[in-house]
């Protein structure tokens, strides 16, 4: 018979303490390590050679009878501890041996209902972890250990079932794993200058080139079976099984001679949708990206929070990587990245670099930043602040003295601040934390070039100051425009000013500048220059005529 246990389980801890295997002082670091490594207490004790597999087998024989089953609430889903192997529900994932006692790796019971964000808190993140039953023990009940009435179950971290599986070993697919047809497609898309490839069941393949969608040659519409076959070729067996269970997956893919790609899969009514982002072969510098001269000022910050704002496919990640590469080549520091997934594989120059992928090298999203703080980094790069938990983690990291860089989906600097202020929590405390931690916001969008040779970056730069901090504390982002207008001498850049400079230089057309600007009145000259010149050339009307027109207007009223 196997002992049914959970990671960091209060019953397991009480059993270990009652046998004198660990003291209360020794148990605390073991509890933290179990949460980080996503392993059970018994497995960690065997690794530390505190007990042997033979001793654990002896403990199982002398285990007390099972306690009465009790229900554990997780969000809106109620789970009950199984009384025997016959009543045990199906578990997900494969089991592997651990030691000589025949113990199997723990897996978590599947949830039918996704818990709400409130149910993922530390008080309600309880999940039953049961050991998979070996074939020889079929039909036998699993012994339980009674929980002392005064003990309170410790909060349980989400386990490996929710973590994404690893990709291809070494980061690249083997030569015989993907059909040459798929690799030829990706190589052809890279050569054409595309940024994305879209494969959708029921539709023809599409390429995104310079922000616009184009058909992929004369390829006809793809069936659901064809797209599913390509998904299986792009993923490992473990990844495809994960996608089948959860319906969505983001991962990185690479093959020899073809570069790296970011693959995002989702399920819809007609089948599978695959969006493939083509990762550039190298990180471009700020000059190559066409970023303003004030961008280099961001590399002077030693701590705090720097945000890169922009809508989807606006180049904000490339700008953040340009700053990260600038720090990599000029500072002797430790850089840690937290990405979803790892796109660029950074090459250390002067800095030491540790790249971590959400769900693969870390646990849950809401604790990934907290675990990364243990790496003692000087610079922390977060791929995207996609929810309030990541925002709270980024602020906490910035308050510890690290330089935190992150992207945020927002149209401009003012909207980025509004996104931060919308996070739940005490409003006054949140505003003070943002005002104290924020150092700069770099926002950008991509406008089509007038010559048709790609797109140009239109940028906005906000540097924190006493005036900006007061606006954040008072939550009056509508006054941010006045501060940025008066702060041009201090290096602040407005989006309309950057767009006007590109239009005056002929980099973007007048129609493109007028379509993207905020103050339309200032950009009318780019779309109606002749009408304005004719209006200026007309002689002024005599005063008598003006008086007659005023009298006619009064009579009509």
- The string of pLDDT tens digits covering residues 282-299 is 999 999 999 998 999 999
Q: Are residues 442 and 387 in the same domain?
A: yes
Whichever domain contains 220, its CATH number is 3.30.450.90
500 within a domain of the structure (yes/no): yes
Q: Which of 110, 98, 106, 84 is nearest to 5 (CA)?
A: 106
Global model pTM greater than 0.85: no
Q: Which two tokens stand for residue 163?
A: 């973590």
Residue 29 domain-assigned (yes or no): yes
Query: Do 27 and 13 form a contact (C-beta atoms < 8 A)?
Result: yes
Distance (Å) of CA 403 to CA 174, 357, 438: 38, 19, 10
Percent of the chain with pLDDT over 70: 70
In terms of domains, do 72 and 146 share one? Answer: yes
Across the chain, mean pLDDT equals 76
pLDDT (tens digit per residue) in 306-327 = 999 999 889 999 999 999 999 9
**Is 153 in the same domain as 204?**
no
Q: What is the 3-state secondary structure (H, E, C) of 376-418?
A: CCCEEEECCCCCHHHHHHHHHHHHCCCEEEEEEECCCHHHHHH
Does some domain include residue 551?
Answer: no
Residue 536: strand, helix, or coil: helix
Does any domain span residue 536? no
Same domain, 270 and 325: no
Q: 136-194, pLDDT tens digit by residue?
A: 333 333 333 343 444 333 333 333 334 567 666 556 665 555 556 788 889 999 999 99
Instruction: Tell me: do 115 and 239 sit in the same domain.
Output: no
Stretch 526-543: mean pLDDT, rounded? Answer: 58
Same domain, residue pair 432 and 506 = yes
Residue 147, domain extent: 10-162
- Crossing angle of helices 180-191 and 224-234, rounded to 10°: 90
Q: How sure is the predictor about 4, in pLDDT bands with cuts at 50, 70 and 90? A: very low
Helix (H) or strand (E) holding 41: helix 41-47
Q: In this structure, are 321 and 185 located in the same domain? A: no
Number of domains within the chain: 3
pLDDT score recorded for residue 85: 35
CATH number (domain holding residue 505): 3.40.50.300
Which one-letter DSSP state was computed for residue 439? E
Structural domain includes residue 545: no
Range in 44-58, 211-225, 239-253, 490-504 the model is least confident about: 44-58
On whether both 323 and 439 belong to a single domain, the answer is: yes
- In this structure, are 324 and 442 located in the same domain? yes
Domain co-membership, 97 together with 221:
no
Are 296 and 267 contained in the same domain?
Answer: no
- Check whether residue 182 and residue 144 sit in a common domain: no
Does the pLDDT of residue 16 top 50, yes or no?
yes
Is 539 inside a domain boundary? no
User: Cβ neighbours of residue 479 under 8 Å, at least 6 residues apart?
Assistant: 471
Vertex 144 angle, CA 138 and 145, to 5°: 160
Each residue's pLDDT tens digit, 335-386: 999 998 888 989 999 999 999 888 778 766 656 777 777 778 899 999 999 8
Looking at residue 375, what is its pLDDT?
A: 76
């Amino acid at each position: 018979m196997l002992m049914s246990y959970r990671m960091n389980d209060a019953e397991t801890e009480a059993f270990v303490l009652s046998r004198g295997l660990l003291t209360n002082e020794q148990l605390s670091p073991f509890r933290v390590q179990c949460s980080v490594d996503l392993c059970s207490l018994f497995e960690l004790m065997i690794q530390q050679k505190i007990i042997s597999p033979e001793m654990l087998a002896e403990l199982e024989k002398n285990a007390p009878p099972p306690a009465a089953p009790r229900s554990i609430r997780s969000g809106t889903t109620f789970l009950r501890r199984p009384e025997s192997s016959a009543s045990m529900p199906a578990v997900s994932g494969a089991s592997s041996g651990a030691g000589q006692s025949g113990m199997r790796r723990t897996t978590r019971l599947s949830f039918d209902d996704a818990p709400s964000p409130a149910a993922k808190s530390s008080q309600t993140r309880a999940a039953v972890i049961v050991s998979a039953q070996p074939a020889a023990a079929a039909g036998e009940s699993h012994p339980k250990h009674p929980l002392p009435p005064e003990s309170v179950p410790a909060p349980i971290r989400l386990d490996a079932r929710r973590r994404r599986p690893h990709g291809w070993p070494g980061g690249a697919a083997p030569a015989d794993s993907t059909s040459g047809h798929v690799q030829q497609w990706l190589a052809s898309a890279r050569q054409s200058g595309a940024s994305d490839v879209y494969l959708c069941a029921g539709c023809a393949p599409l390429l995104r080139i310079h922000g616009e969608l184009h058909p992929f040659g004369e390829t006809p519409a793809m069936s659901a079976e064809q797209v599913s076959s390509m998904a299986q070729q792009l993923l490992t067996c473990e990844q495809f099984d994960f996608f089948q269970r959860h319906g969505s997956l983001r991962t990185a893919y690479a093959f020899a001679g073809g570069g790296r790609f970011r693959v995002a899969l989702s399920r819809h009514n007609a089948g599978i949708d695959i969006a493939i982002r083509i990762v550039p072969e190298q990180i471009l510098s700020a000059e190559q990206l066409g970023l303003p001269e004030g961008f280099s000022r961001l590399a002077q910050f030693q701590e705090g929070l720097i945000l890169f704002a922009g809508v989807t496919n606006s180049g904000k990640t490339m700008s953040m990587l340009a700053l990260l590469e600038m720090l990599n080549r000029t500072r002797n520091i430790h850089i840690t990245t937290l990405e979803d997934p790892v796109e660029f594989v950074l090459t250390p120059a002067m800095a030491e670099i540790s790249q971590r992928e959400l769900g693969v090298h870390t646990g849950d999203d809401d604790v990934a930043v907290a675990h990364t703080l243990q790496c003692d980094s000087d610079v922390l790069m977060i791929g995207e602040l996609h929810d309030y938990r990541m925002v709270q983690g980024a602020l906490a990291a910035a308050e510890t003295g690290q330089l935190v860089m992150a992207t945020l989906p927002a149209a401009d600097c003012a909207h980025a601040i509004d996104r931060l202020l919308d996070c739940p929590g005490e409003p006054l405390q949140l505003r003070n934390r943002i005002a104290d931690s924020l150092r700069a916001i770099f926002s950008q969008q991509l406008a089509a070039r007038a010559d048709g040779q790609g797109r140009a970056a239109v940028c906005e730069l906000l540097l924190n100051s006493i005036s900006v901090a007061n606006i954040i504390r008072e939550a009056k982002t509508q006054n941010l425009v006045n501060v940025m207008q008066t702060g041009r001498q201090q290096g602040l850049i407005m989006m309309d000013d950057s767009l006007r400079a590109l239009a005056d230089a002929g980099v973007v057309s007048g129609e493109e500048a007028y379509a993207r600007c905020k103050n339309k009145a200032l950009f009318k000259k780019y779309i109606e220059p002749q009408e304005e010149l004719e209006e200026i050339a007309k002689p002024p009307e005599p005063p008598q005529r003006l008086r007659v027109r005023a009298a006619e207007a009064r009579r009509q009223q």
